[in-house]
């Protein structure tokens, strides 16, 4: 997830005193063809805090220390296998590619990061857009890159597919933007690390209006929601995706949720309605003691699952208000 140049030769060595103002004609589309909030999700933005802390461009917590780009994730490696296209965010000339690294989740350990030291970007593409602007997409699926150095690409041209190569703890594409070698936050047009903005969201953005409309929903979202007969493990969710609906019977009836970018103090409110329409369970988790980039939780009752169509829902409660929610109907076979 941390930036690295695909090769040393691709990194610009000219470091100016600061990035010139963005030209009006340089605008970015989304680097993906999936629908944000439905089948792919904003996980992290660049870190705009110059110190040891982290802040996203909107003074929120959807960033980590030193992160320099936008991460758009898939739910799991099962989605990688289905193939989700990564596209050119703007027209330009391909400056460099890599396409040979395997797709594997490295986990949060230092040993995992050490295993990809120097090639954290994994498989990727660098595009020169002229006037000092370039973009880089990282963590593409091995064997998916369909362009080569020197190719001319237009906005929206297919570059490859979202994968988990390099330093990837979850499947995603990382988009970074540079001008004359300086890292730029595409949400605000400001230099990465130059401070977050409390003003209007996306003021000064490099993104096209259509991209802003997709991105401005906010980074907190529900990745998955379902019904289970036993606790659901996050480690399996990110690999296999949501488990299938359980059969009737068993020792417990559980609703589970998988959520991104929760803040300290947030809580999850769960609800289960039995097939006959009667409330089966309602309850909330304790407020979180710290921020959570990804979080899974479950609740329910120690009673067998009845056959039929269940209704489950979850709300993310922040400062007394629901800021994200999902509702599903799940058929339990008898």
CATH code for the domain in which residue 286 is found:
2.60.40
Q: Which of 4-13, 49-58, 84-93, 242-251 has the lowest mean pLDDT?
A: 4-13
Regarding whether 187 and 242 lie in a shared domain, the answer is no
Looking at the predicted structure, is the pLDDT value of residue 6 above 60?
no
Q: Are 141 and 170 in contact (CB under 8 A)?
A: no
Q: What is the band of 108 on the pLDDT scale with cuts at 50, 70, 90?
A: confident
What is residue 217's predicted lDDT score, i.e. its pLDDT? Answer: 86
The pLDDT > 70 percentage for the chain reads 93
The whole-number average pLDDT for the span 312-329 is 97
What is residue 94's predicted lDDT score, i.e. its pLDDT? Answer: 98
Domain boundary among 160, 184, 216: 216
Q: Are 184 and 177 in contact (CB under 8 A)?
A: yes
What is residue 25's predicted lDDT score, i.e. its pLDDT? Answer: 77
Flag whether 29 is in a domain: yes
Looking at the predicted structure, is the pLDDT value of residue 17 above 80?
no
The whole-number average pLDDT for the span 57-72 is 97
Pairwise CA distance, residues 232 & 229, whole Å: 9
What is residue 2's predicted lDDT score, i.e. its pLDDT? Answer: 39
Strand partners, 259: 222, 295
Regarding whether 232 and 121 lie in a shared domain, the answer is no
Regarding whether 227 and 144 lie in a shared domain, the answer is no
Handedness of CA 209, 210, 211, 215 (dihedral sign): positive
pTM of the model: 0.90
What is residue 4's predicted lDDT score, i.e. its pLDDT? Answer: 40
Flag whether 17 is in a domain: no
Q: pLDDT tens digit string along 204-227? A: 999 999 999 999 988 999 999 999
Sorted by sequence, the CB contacts under 8 Å of residue 23 that are 6+ apart come out as 131
Q: What is the band of 73 on the pLDDT scale with cuts at 50, 70, 90?
A: very high
What is residue 233's predicted lDDT score, i.e. its pLDDT? Answer: 87
Regarding whether 327 and 245 lie in a shared domain, the answer is yes
Domain boundary among 216, 245, 279: 216
How many residues comprise the chain? Answer: 334
Regarding whether 180 and 49 lie in a shared domain, the answer is yes
What is residue 121's predicted lDDT score, i.e. its pLDDT? Answer: 97
What is residue 321's predicted lDDT score, i.e. its pLDDT? Answer: 97
DSSP codes joined into one string, 17-32 = SSPPPPPTT--B--SB
**Which domain, by its residues, includes 87?**
1-11+24-195+203-216
What is residue 20's predicted lDDT score, i.e. its pLDDT? Answer: 47
What is residue 12's predicted lDDT score, i.e. its pLDDT? Answer: 29
Regarding whether 165 and 297 lie in a shared domain, the answer is no
Please give the tally of structural domains in the chain: 2
What is residue 312's predicted lDDT score, i.e. its pLDDT? Answer: 98
Regarding whether 240 and 212 lie in a shared domain, the answer is no
Could you give phi then psi for residue 212, rounded to 5 degrees?
Answer: -60, -45
CATH assignment at residue 163:
2.70.70.10
Pairwise CA distance, residues 204 & 187, whole Å: 8
Q: Which of 3-17, 59-73, 96-110, 197-211 has the lowest mean pLDDT?
A: 3-17
Regarding whether 249 and 123 lie in a shared domain, the answer is no
Q: What is the band of 196 on the pLDDT scale with cuts at 50, 70, 90?
A: very high
**Within a 13 Å sphere around the CA of 173, how many CA atoms are in the beta-carbon half?**
33
Pairwise CA distance, residues 254 & 167, whole Å: 34
Q: What is the largest CA-CA distance in the chain?
A: 68
């Amino acid at each position: 997830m941390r930036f690295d140049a695909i090769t040393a030769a691709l990194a610009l060595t000219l470091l100016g005193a600061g990035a010139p103002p963005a030209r009006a004609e340089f605008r970015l589309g989304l680097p993906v063809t999936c629908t944000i909030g439905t089948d792919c999700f904003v996980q992290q933005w660049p870190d705009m805090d110059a110190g040891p802390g982290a802040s996203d461009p909107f003074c929120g917590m959807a960033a980590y220390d030193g992160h320099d780009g936008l991460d758009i994730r898939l739910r799991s490696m099962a989605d990688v296998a289905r193939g989700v296209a990564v596209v050119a965010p703007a027209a330009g000339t391909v400056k460099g590619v890599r396409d040979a690294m395997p797709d594997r989740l490295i986990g949060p350990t230092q040993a995992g990061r050490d295993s990809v030291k120097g090639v954290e970007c994994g498989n990727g593409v660098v595009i020169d857009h002229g006037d000092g602007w370039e973009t880089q997409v990282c963590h593409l699926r091995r064997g998916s890159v369909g362009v080569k150095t020197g190719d001319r690409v237009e906005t929206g041209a297919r570059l490859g597919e979202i994968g988990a190569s390099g330093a990837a703890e979850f499947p995603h594409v990382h988009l970074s933007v540079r001008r004359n070698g300086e890292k730029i936050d595409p949400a605000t047009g400001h230099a990465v690390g130059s401070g977050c903005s409390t003003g209007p969201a996306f003021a000064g953005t490099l993104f096209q209006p259509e991209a802003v409309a997709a991105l401005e929903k906010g980074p907190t979202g529900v990745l998955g929601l379902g019904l289970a007969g036993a606790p659901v493990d996050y480690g399996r969710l990110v690999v296999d995706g949501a488990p299938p609906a359980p059969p009737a019977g068993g020792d417990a009836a559980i609703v589970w949720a998988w959520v991104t970018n929760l803040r300290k103090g947030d809580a999850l409110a769960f609800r289960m309605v039995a097939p006959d329409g009667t409330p089966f369970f309602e309850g909330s988790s304790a407020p979180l003691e710290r921020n959570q980039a990804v979080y899974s939780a479950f609740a329910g009752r120690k009673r067998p699952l009845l056959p039929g169509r269940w209704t489950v829902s979850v709300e993310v409660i922040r400062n007394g208000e629901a800021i994200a929610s999902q509702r599903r109907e799940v058929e339990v076979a008898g």
